[in-house]
Structure 1
């Protein structure tokens, strides 16, 4: 029974997030540390505590807003967050005493060495103390399990890399809210209560929050200035466009493109117009949109761990269950985007210009790509560093504060696309490690592209060589490091940090889907405009093989997640080749759909419903993670984890992400893409 209880201890971190943090986070510029220090006054604290003891109603407000011993400890509920907003709203002024509430969180080990009159509580404490032999290992594993919050679907854990569980040799730890007068520290209040009741309570102070404790920073001034300027230009451009269109009755071609580039009217019509020319890969829209939805739902699940979960024990059970396969395999959606990037990298270049012109315009090849992704990335970084930090608040808002601080310090590595190598566990916008890898792959792609002009034999040799080399590199990394193929393998949490640095965010081991995409891009180009005829038996065989291999890539994660799995060679095989296999099968799906062998799959992937989310996918990718962080940080109580409620939150995250992405595209992406085309169209 006690061992089962300590399985719950392995999930402590799921209920605590980066809420156990070191001085690096406590001194972050996202919160006003000087304010916290300046309000402390021990003498006034004594006066106000005496007032609280004599004023029953006022004292009850502080008690009512504080946390209590939570129920459900044996199923992993190790926190009571009290009432955050009620505490901060307490304000009482009388007899020159200005009493205001301050919300604090404290960590209380369950193995208290205290004398208490309640024999049941004492007996409970003794039972916990008998488990000290298991404690260190359990708590250590609980820290690692916290990394779940940033690992699924290709995220990292910069916040969690700074997280520390205090008192590592202690037993399980409760996180309790305590509402105190702002001039007091939690220790002063609890020591007073303990002295009055003959209780010596052992605890650690974590963090305190006050109203208006988010100081104005340089990022705030920059964001207000830049976004105000963009808004002003948008208003002027929209007014010009509407005047030219509806007052002067001019045709679209007669209106100056530059002057209307920021027009909401024009950019909205552009986003909602889906006219595709000959050779368009319409099925790619469905693949891109579905993959993006997969990413959002995957992050909704894994970022649930950033909250205090009231049934944390269920998470471990869920991770090893069959119903979690679609989330555990969600990181493979990243390889879908790598493969699509490789396809378009070749398909949009070959046949348009000659080899010599490509070499001469290589600077434009890079410049177009970098400028195309820069405006939205810079906008979301600026939002995360400033405005998003102020849109809401809550007991676990420290997660958003940590993300804000990371972007204020490391924005440059994100914009330069080097953050997967420069302090890779401390990223601005944790999920954008993918963008850095993708840009790096795009930069080295001309090494292969330059051979695709002219001789088909030379082209195929260079493409095959690129695929073989990248698969070989992935194999070397996989069989050399012996990592688990599952990102969140419960038995191997201790390897996750090294796994992410050495393999998951490393460009070369992740390159095979991109180069396989380049191969398919060339194949699509070679058959472009041709009537391809294939035998039905060949098509049926390729479809059957493709579906079987896709199922293998998704469902092979299940045996790896089981506690008795011990086949390292199978893990190495999956790490080395699973992503390449996924890219190959997805490439066949696109090829078959484009050339008339997709049947109902092509119909489904080419539906109009996928067009808008596909067009918004880059903006959705950038903004969805901060929005989920905001939603989680705004929660004021513990969360009950189950599929139904998490899926419900996932649907909400999708809706808000689409709305935010649409606004970003209308105000940022579409205008700057027009300006970019005007500047570079000659090139």
Structure 2
């Protein structure tokens, strides 16, 4: 039985790379029709001799099986192609058909020329080879053309960011040693402002200018929303400057004498080739370090379980002990129950707000609809990220004061050196582990179009500036130049903690004078926020049209400075002081309680919903609105939580609202809170970096991504069990009284 012609055509269409391990003219319809069965079979079987008329499909399968007996002979393998074979060997036979079809293809989809403009000689040489092979319809050249971004549909829906085919481009190996290089170019489109029609189109294309950015803005922490991302697949010999020059020359052919002006930028770090180098030595060393810590934790758990006689320092790493400690529902003697709920709820809202910002890095086919949806007032939850960090600063001041005043009432002194050392044990090991991971491990566990921007570039910053984080001064060097940008809060909190003994001692020793000084300082900090925001035209609230430069200025001139965050810290000091000096049976008048609830609820609602109008698409920036928000919203938001903590701890309320915050399950959230705070952005940017194509934006599905939340919790648990809890145990062992050193360390 002869092989049917139809079956052969199906095989050729589905598996074009099979054809003699050479690129085939799969588009040449007329050429394919003229091929004889024997020619196809000869190609499929590597048989250069004539095929017998009695050659059957069974014979073909057997022949292919024999041909592919070893991996080196596997005819589908790209690696088996020699450079002389990486061309369409049918071209000479079907030259007229191929030439005609390629011209038609180029008329439909113009080709990017990597050699356009003034480029390097090697780039020009490889580009000429690319064009020659593309016109011959060689498979690797078609793949390079295919992997490059094309003008899509849905431009007026905001579908302007085109990431091409990242993996197809990096997998290319062509003639003359050519390898595929993926470059993500940035384009800035400007229109003639006298053209009302173009201005409206421009507004839709740029999704109502949710953010305004320039090519010069840093893009690794805050998205350059007004910049078009356009993927280019070019020969690897072309530098980023070559790609930028050629893309600019190519675009100018189509935009000259129009009302559109396009600025092009291609960063060196945004051009990637397939990674073939071995892992760096430091990465291997850091990997061994993490594996060693895991091994130590497992061995310590076995020793703990078997009650082996080993050092308490070793047992501090016991997974068994630390897991039991993490899941324990036992409260401490001085525990303030509602604080755990306050911390958990604000942490969840902060994750949602941070996730909202991370989402703007990704391309969407309906990005314009996305921004219109986010212009609704209730989406304030994602725009007020700065608001959710203030309770953490207040809680820090509250707990520090509550602890210090307790020691002062008990012994009359504070061991400042011991307190500072205790804080270092609390913060440094976990922070150090994450910095090591982000610098040396994370850049090598993934890839993607924006991977170098949000992961590798950030790792390079950490390599240069990590020491600032360990001195807790990184918040003074600019938001865009900070290693683990989101850890600015740790710097602020540590600096305020360093000053806290002075403030607390002043309040404790001289209540009236100390209170007056603290209130004056809080008023000064509030006034400073108002002044700087108004005159520097800053805004802590993300409104439509916020520029990236304004966001960075707001961070650098106000948000990350301890002088601007003193107000809520001092509120925490006062609350902690009153919680300690007021007995738990201290009763307030019911009228005072009701008035307090009314005032603090109104203040919190005003802080949260008051600026909702600034989220409207049609909002026009007003410095007075921004200054009022930055000055008073932190006070209003924290006032409610301070009131809940005071009433609950003194026994003045037993309502469901306070009971909710005091739920024991929040104890676990408290123990994970530091690690959750540290890991959320690495998880977000891991997903941003590996995103390869545009999605359809859906608010709830993407903002409340439980898969991503699960990874944040999992990484937080790992970080807590391997670093946070062990060093807390070591701190407890080393800093306790000498007389108790002989006792075993007990799980908390």
TM-score (normalised: structure 1): 0.78
1:34 maps to which residue?
none
| Structure 2 counterparts to residues 92-241 of structure 1, below 5 A | 97-107=176-186, 131=198, 145-146=212-213, 159=219, 174-184=228-238, 204=264, 206=266, 207-212=270-275, 216-217=279-280, 219-241=282-304
Residue of structure 2 aligned with 1:370, choices 424, 427, 447? 424
State yes or no: 1:675 paired with 2:730: yes
Distance in 2 between residues matched to 1:476 and 1:58, nearest whole Å: 61
CA contact (8 A) 1:182 1:210 kept: yes
State yes or no: 1:587 paired with 2:642: yes
1:119 maps to which residue?
none
2:542 maps to which residue?
488
Residue of structure 2 aligned with 1:351, choices 394, 401, 406? 406
* 1:366 CA displacement: 1.4
* 1:549 CA displacement: 1.3
2:468 maps to which residue?
413
RMSD across aligned positions (CA): 3.8
State yes or no: 1:500 paired with 2:552: no
- Larger displacement relative to structure 2 (390-399 or 349-358): 349-358
1:74 maps to which residue?
156
Q: Closer, same or farther in 2 for the Cα pair 1:669/1:126, shift >3 Å?
A: closer
1:473 maps to which residue?
525
1:16 maps to which residue?
none
Q: Closer, same or farther in 2 for the Cα pair 1:73/1:133, shift >3 Å?
A: closer
Task: Give the SS at the match of 2:674.
Answer: helix
Distance in 2 between residues matched to 1:380 and 1:174, nearest whole Å: 32
* 1:350 CA displacement: 1.5
Task: Give the SS at the match of 2:483.
Answer: coil
- Larger displacement relative to structure 2 (483-492 or 430-439): 483-492
Distance in 1 between residues matched to 2:189 and 2:555, nearest whole Å: 34
* 1:489 CA displacement: 3.1
Q: Closer, same or farther in 2 for the Cα pair 1:460/1:391, shift >3 Å?
A: farther
Distance in 2 between residues matched to 1:277 and 1:164, nearest whole Å: 47
Deviations 1:456-514 (A, max 9, x none): xx335424531331222321341354045543233553543332222111111111111
* 1:611 CA displacement: 2.3
* 1:599 CA displacement: 1.0
State yes or no: 1:462 paired with 2:462: no
1:629 maps to which residue?
685
Q: Closer, same or farther in 2 for the Cα pair 1:459/1:365, shift >3 Å?
A: farther
| Structure 2 counterparts to residues 225-374 of structure 1, below 5 A | 225-244=288-307, 257-314=312-369, 316-353=371-408, 358-359=413-414, 361-374=415-428
* 1:413 CA displacement: 1.0
Distance in 2 between residues matched to 1:208 and 1:453, nearest whole Å: 60
* 1:339 CA displacement: 0.7
CA contact (8 A) 2:187 2:230 kept: yes
Q: Which structure has the larger Rg over C-alpha atoms?
A: 2
State yes or no: 1:399 paired with 2:454: yes
2:167 maps to which residue?
85
* 1:429 CA displacement: 0.6
Distance in 1 between residues matched to 2:189 and 2:621, nearest whole Å: 35
Task: Give the SS at the match of 2:476.
Answer: coil
CA contact (8 A) 1:219 1:385 kept: no
Q: Closer, same or farther in 2 for the Cα pair 1:173/1:354, shift >3 Å?
A: closer
Unaligned runs of 5+ in 1: 1-36, 113-124, 148-156, 166-171, 246-253
Q: Closer, same or farther in 2 for the Cα pair 1:518/1:86, shift >3 Å?
A: same
* 1:561 CA displacement: 3.6
CA contact (8 A) 2:365 2:694 kept: yes
CA contact (8 A) 1:111 1:128 kept: no
CA contact (8 A) 1:108 1:173 kept: yes
CA contact (8 A) 2:322 2:726 kept: yes
Q: Closer, same or farther in 2 for the Cα pair 1:461/1:108, shift >3 Å?
A: closer
CA contact (8 A) 1:463 1:515 kept: no
* 1:294 CA displacement: 0.9
CA contact (8 A) 2:143 2:172 kept: yes
Distance in 2 between residues matched to 1:188 and 1:498, nearest whole Å: 32
CA contact (8 A) 1:81 1:636 kept: yes
Task: Give the SS at the match of 1:176.
Answer: strand
Instruction: Choose between structure 1 and 2 for higher RCO, CA contacts under 8 A separated by at least 6 residues.
Output: 1
* 1:159 CA displacement: 4.2
2:582 maps to which residue?
527
* 1:453 CA displacement: 4.3
Q: Closer, same or farther in 2 for the Cα pair 1:159/1:382, shift >3 Å?
A: farther
Deviations 1:503-542 (A, max 9, x none): 11111111111111111111111124x3222333332222
State yes or no: 1:384 paired with 2:447: no
CA contact (8 A) 2:540 2:554 kept: no
Deviations 1:142-188 (A, max 9, x none): 696359xxxxxxxxx964599999xxxxxx97533233343456968
* 1:395 CA displacement: 0.7
TM-score (normalised: structure 2): 0.72
CA contact (8 A) 2:300 2:318 kept: yes
* 1:617 CA displacement: 0.3
* 1:225 CA displacement: 4.4
Task: Give the SS at the match of 2:568.
Answer: helix
Distance in 2 between residues matched to 1:214 and 1:438, nearest whole Å: 41
Task: Give the SS at the match of 2:372.
Answer: helix
Q: Closer, same or farther in 2 for the Cα pair 1:400/1:332, shift >3 Å?
A: same
Distance in 2 between residues matched to 1:602 and 1:126, nearest whole Å: 56
Q: Closer, same or farther in 2 for the Cα pair 1:286/1:110, shift >3 Å?
A: closer
CA contact (8 A) 1:613 1:658 kept: no
* 1:556 CA displacement: 1.0
Q: Closer, same or farther in 2 for the Cα pair 1:161/1:538, shift >3 Å?
A: closer
Q: Closer, same or farther in 2 for the Cα pair 1:279/1:200, shift >3 Å?
A: closer
* 1:106 CA displacement: 3.5
1:20 maps to which residue?
none
Residue of structure 1 aligned with 2:661, choices 605, 608, 628? 605
Distance in 1 between residues matched to 2:171 and 2:514, nearest whole Å: 67
Unaligned runs of 5+ in 2: 1-118, 257-261, 739-748
Deviations 1:316-374 (A, max 9, x none): 43454212111122321100100110110011222224598635x21112121122111
CA contact (8 A) 2:166 2:182 kept: yes
Deviations 1:220-240 (A, max 9, x none): 255224324323432432232
- Larger displacement relative to structure 2 (388-397 or 467-476): 467-476
* 1:39 CA displacement: 13
CA contact (8 A) 1:79 1:174 kept: yes
Distance in 2 between residues matched to 1:216 and 1:179, nearest whole Å: 25
* 1:603 CA displacement: 2.1
